[in-house]
Amino acid sequence: MKKVMKAAIAAGAASALLLGGAGTYALWNGTDDINAGTVTTGHLTLDATAAGVWSDASTDAANTTFNPATDRLVPGDTVTFEQTVSISAEGKNLKGALEVGTLNAVPVALAGQVSVDLAADATAAGLSKVGNVISFAAPGNYDIPVTITVTFDAGTAGSTPVGTMDQALDLGALTLNLNQVR
Protein backbone atom coordinates (compact mmCIF):
# COMPACT_ATOMS: atom_id res chain seq x y z
CA MET A 1 0.00 0.00 0.00
CA LYS A 2 2.81 2.35 0.56
CA LYS A 3 3.94 2.03 -3.05
CA VAL A 4 0.46 2.73 -4.34
CA MET A 5 0.16 5.77 -2.09
CA LYS A 6 3.48 7.21 -3.24
CA ALA A 7 2.54 6.69 -6.89
CA ALA A 8 -0.81 8.44 -6.39
CA ILE A 9 0.84 11.44 -4.71
CA ALA A 10 3.43 11.73 -7.50
CA ALA A 11 0.72 11.54 -10.19
CA GLY A 12 -1.32 14.21 -8.42
CA ALA A 13 1.68 16.54 -8.13
CA ALA A 14 2.49 16.10 -11.83
CA SER A 15 -1.10 16.85 -12.82
CA ALA A 16 -1.14 19.97 -10.67
CA LEU A 17 2.01 21.24 -12.30
CA LEU A 18 0.69 20.61 -15.79
CA LEU A 19 -2.63 22.28 -15.07
CA GLY A 20 -0.95 25.21 -13.33
CA GLY A 21 1.19 25.99 -16.41
CA ALA A 22 -1.88 26.22 -18.62
CA GLY A 23 -3.28 29.11 -16.70
CA THR A 24 -0.19 31.42 -16.72
CA TYR A 25 0.25 34.46 -18.92
CA ALA A 26 3.47 35.62 -20.67
CA LEU A 27 4.62 39.22 -20.99
CA TRP A 28 5.12 40.53 -24.51
CA ASN A 29 8.54 40.25 -26.14
CA GLY A 30 10.11 40.38 -29.59
CA THR A 31 13.36 39.80 -31.47
CA ASP A 32 14.88 41.14 -34.65
CA ASP A 33 18.28 40.99 -36.40
CA ILE A 34 20.58 44.00 -36.62
CA ASN A 35 21.87 44.61 -40.13
CA ALA A 36 25.43 45.63 -39.18
CA GLY A 37 26.96 44.35 -42.42
CA THR A 38 30.21 42.41 -42.72
CA VAL A 39 33.65 43.20 -41.34
CA THR A 40 36.62 41.98 -43.39
CA THR A 41 40.28 41.84 -42.40
CA GLY A 42 42.97 43.46 -44.52
CA HIS A 43 46.36 42.11 -45.53
CA LEU A 44 50.08 42.85 -45.52
CA THR A 45 52.14 40.94 -48.08
CA LEU A 46 55.66 41.04 -49.46
CA ASP A 47 56.40 39.66 -52.92
CA ALA A 48 60.07 39.18 -53.84
CA THR A 49 59.50 36.88 -56.81
CA ALA A 50 60.20 39.40 -59.59
CA ALA A 51 63.30 38.56 -61.61
CA GLY A 52 66.44 40.38 -60.61
CA VAL A 53 69.42 41.43 -62.69
CA TRP A 54 73.14 41.00 -61.94
CA SER A 55 75.62 43.54 -63.32
CA ASP A 56 79.33 44.25 -63.04
CA ALA A 57 79.83 47.66 -61.42
CA SER A 58 83.63 47.45 -61.33
CA THR A 59 85.28 50.68 -62.48
CA ASP A 60 87.42 48.90 -65.09
CA ALA A 61 84.86 46.33 -66.29
CA ALA A 62 85.07 45.50 -70.00
CA ASN A 63 81.25 45.06 -69.98
CA THR A 64 78.57 45.38 -67.35
CA THR A 65 77.08 41.90 -67.60
CA PHE A 66 77.65 39.44 -64.77
CA ASN A 67 76.45 35.84 -64.53
CA PRO A 68 77.07 34.32 -61.08
CA ALA A 69 76.78 30.81 -62.56
CA THR A 70 79.77 31.32 -64.87
CA ASP A 71 81.65 34.50 -63.88
CA ARG A 72 84.04 34.56 -60.91
CA LEU A 73 85.00 37.49 -58.68
CA VAL A 74 88.60 38.63 -58.42
CA PRO A 75 90.13 41.28 -56.16
CA GLY A 76 88.93 44.72 -57.25
CA ASP A 77 85.52 43.55 -58.52
CA THR A 78 82.17 45.01 -57.51
CA VAL A 79 78.96 43.34 -58.69
CA THR A 80 75.36 44.23 -57.96
CA PHE A 81 72.03 42.41 -57.98
CA GLU A 82 68.93 44.59 -58.44
CA GLN A 83 65.38 43.41 -57.84
CA THR A 84 62.09 45.13 -57.17
CA VAL A 85 60.00 43.82 -54.30
CA SER A 86 56.32 44.65 -53.92
CA ILE A 87 54.34 45.42 -50.79
CA SER A 88 50.56 45.23 -50.72
CA ALA A 89 49.04 46.79 -47.61
CA GLU A 90 45.30 47.01 -47.16
CA GLY A 91 43.53 47.94 -43.94
CA LYS A 92 42.45 50.97 -41.97
CA ASN A 93 45.30 52.37 -39.85
CA LEU A 94 47.81 49.94 -41.42
CA LYS A 95 51.42 51.07 -41.20
CA GLY A 96 54.44 48.91 -41.81
CA ALA A 97 58.21 48.64 -42.01
CA LEU A 98 60.43 46.71 -44.40
CA GLU A 99 63.74 45.87 -42.78
CA VAL A 100 66.83 44.57 -44.49
CA GLY A 101 68.00 41.46 -42.66
CA THR A 102 71.61 40.72 -41.83
CA LEU A 103 73.86 38.43 -43.83
CA ASN A 104 76.33 36.09 -42.23
CA ALA A 105 77.28 34.28 -45.44
CA VAL A 106 80.78 35.66 -45.94
CA PRO A 107 83.14 32.72 -45.40
CA VAL A 108 85.89 33.15 -42.82
CA ALA A 109 88.53 33.02 -45.57
CA LEU A 110 86.95 36.11 -47.21
CA ALA A 111 86.36 38.10 -44.01
CA GLY A 112 87.88 41.54 -44.36
CA GLN A 113 88.34 41.00 -48.11
CA VAL A 114 84.74 40.76 -49.38
CA SER A 115 81.77 42.82 -48.23
CA VAL A 116 78.10 42.27 -49.00
CA ASP A 117 75.67 45.16 -48.60
CA LEU A 118 71.92 45.08 -49.02
CA ALA A 119 70.09 48.35 -49.53
CA ALA A 120 66.55 49.33 -50.40
CA ASP A 121 65.37 52.52 -52.09
CA ALA A 122 62.60 54.55 -50.47
CA THR A 123 62.13 57.28 -53.09
CA ALA A 124 58.58 56.19 -53.99
CA ALA A 125 55.76 58.37 -52.69
CA GLY A 126 54.56 57.40 -49.22
CA LEU A 127 57.84 55.75 -48.16
CA SER A 128 60.51 56.92 -45.76
CA LYS A 129 63.87 55.41 -44.80
CA VAL A 130 65.87 55.48 -41.59
CA GLY A 131 68.98 53.29 -41.63
CA ASN A 132 68.01 49.98 -43.25
CA VAL A 133 64.30 50.31 -42.42
CA ILE A 134 61.78 51.51 -45.01
CA SER A 135 58.42 52.59 -43.58
CA PHE A 136 55.01 53.45 -44.97
CA ALA A 137 52.33 55.31 -43.04
CA ALA A 138 49.26 54.45 -45.09
CA PRO A 139 47.76 51.45 -46.86
CA GLY A 140 48.67 51.02 -50.50
CA ASN A 141 50.83 49.18 -53.01
CA TYR A 142 54.54 49.94 -52.99
CA ASP A 143 57.30 48.78 -55.34
CA ILE A 144 60.72 49.01 -53.72
CA PRO A 145 64.01 48.55 -55.59
CA VAL A 146 66.47 46.42 -53.60
CA THR A 147 70.19 46.28 -54.41
CA ILE A 148 72.78 43.76 -53.22
CA THR A 149 76.36 44.92 -53.69
CA VAL A 150 79.26 42.45 -53.43
CA THR A 151 82.70 44.06 -53.30
CA PHE A 152 85.99 42.15 -53.39
CA ASP A 153 88.59 44.63 -52.12
CA ALA A 154 91.48 45.25 -54.51
CA GLY A 155 94.12 45.37 -51.80
CA THR A 156 97.73 45.62 -52.89
CA ALA A 157 100.02 43.12 -54.57
CA GLY A 158 100.39 40.15 -52.24
CA SER A 159 97.86 41.49 -49.69
CA THR A 160 95.03 39.15 -50.75
CA PRO A 161 95.57 35.74 -49.17
CA VAL A 162 95.67 32.67 -51.42
CA GLY A 163 92.94 31.17 -49.21
CA THR A 164 90.43 33.60 -50.75
CA MET A 165 90.45 31.68 -54.03
CA ASP A 166 87.55 29.38 -55.02
CA GLN A 167 85.30 30.50 -52.14
CA ALA A 168 81.49 30.55 -52.39
CA LEU A 169 79.20 33.27 -51.03
CA ASP A 170 75.68 32.03 -50.29
CA LEU A 171 73.52 35.07 -51.03
CA GLY A 172 70.36 32.98 -50.59
CA ALA A 173 70.58 33.83 -46.90
CA LEU A 174 69.70 37.49 -47.50
CA THR A 175 66.30 38.38 -46.06
CA LEU A 176 63.77 41.17 -46.06
CA ASN A 177 61.35 41.37 -43.12
CA LEU A 178 57.99 43.13 -43.45
CA ASN A 179 56.13 43.93 -40.23
CA GLN A 180 53.06 45.87 -39.23
CA VAL A 181 53.80 48.72 -36.84
CA ARG A 182 51.38 50.68 -34.65
Measured between alpha carbons, how far apart are the two ends of the chain, in Å?
Answer: 80
What is the tens place of the pLDDT at every residue in 75-124? 999 999 999 999 999 999 999 998 877 666 678 888 888 888 878 888 88
Q: H or E segment at 129? A: strand 127-130
Domains and CATH numbers, the chain: 43-156+172-181 (2.60.40)
CA dihedral defined by 62, 68, 73, 76, rounded to 10 degrees? 50
pLDDT band, very low/low/confident/very high, at 20 (cuts 50, 70, 90): low
Query: How confident is the model at residue 15, as a pLDDT?
Result: 64
Mean pLDDT of 124-132: 85
Ranking 14-18, 25-29, 110-114, 134-138 by mean pLDDT, the lowest is: 14-18
Opening angle at CA 177, ends 140 and 99, nearest 5: 85
pTM passes above 0.75: no
Task: Locate all alpha helices (DSSP H) within the chain, ordered by sequence.
Answer: 2-22
